[in-house]
């Protein structure tokens, strides 16, 4: 099992991005994929596996498991794409 990494700095960075679904300013970082991030019941996944979301889409995702008009599979694809883009942007920001 992967030990979840905690990074307040990365969560702040994710919240500074645009919502993955509507491009409005993100106010929250959604922790995705507990299995991939070392989480479990009652344990958040790794902070590096977070998605920038506005409050509306974060609540919708937790309530329904998807974000309209996307299917559940499309929602998951968009979430993983957003995680990859955030990690890439963060790495590029930190390069000298």
Read off the pTM. Answer: 0.83
Is residue 51 within 8 Å of residue 82, measured between CB atoms? Answer: yes
pLDDT tens for each residue of the chain, 96 residues long: 456 788 999 999 999 999 999 999 999 999 987 655 444 556 678 899 999 999 999 999 999 999 999 999 999 999 999 999 999 999 998 876
Residues 6+ apart with CB under 8 A from 2: 36, 37, 38, 46
Is residue 39 within 8 Å of residue 8, measured between CB atoms? Answer: no
> What pLDDT is stored for residue 5 in this prediction?
84
């Amino acid at each position: 099992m992967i030990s979840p990494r905690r990074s307040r700095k990365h969560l702040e960075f994710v919240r500074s991005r645009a919502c993955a679904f509507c491009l409005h300013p993100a106010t929250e970082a959604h922790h995705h994929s507990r299995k991939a991030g070392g989480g479990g019941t009652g344990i958040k996944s790794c902070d590096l596996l977070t998605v920038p979301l506005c409050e509306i889409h974060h609540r919708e995702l937790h309530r329904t498991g998807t974000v309209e008009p996307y299917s559940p599979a499309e929602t998951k694809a968009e979430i993983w794409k957003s995680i990859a883009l955030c990690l890439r942007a963060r790495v590029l920001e930190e390069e000298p």
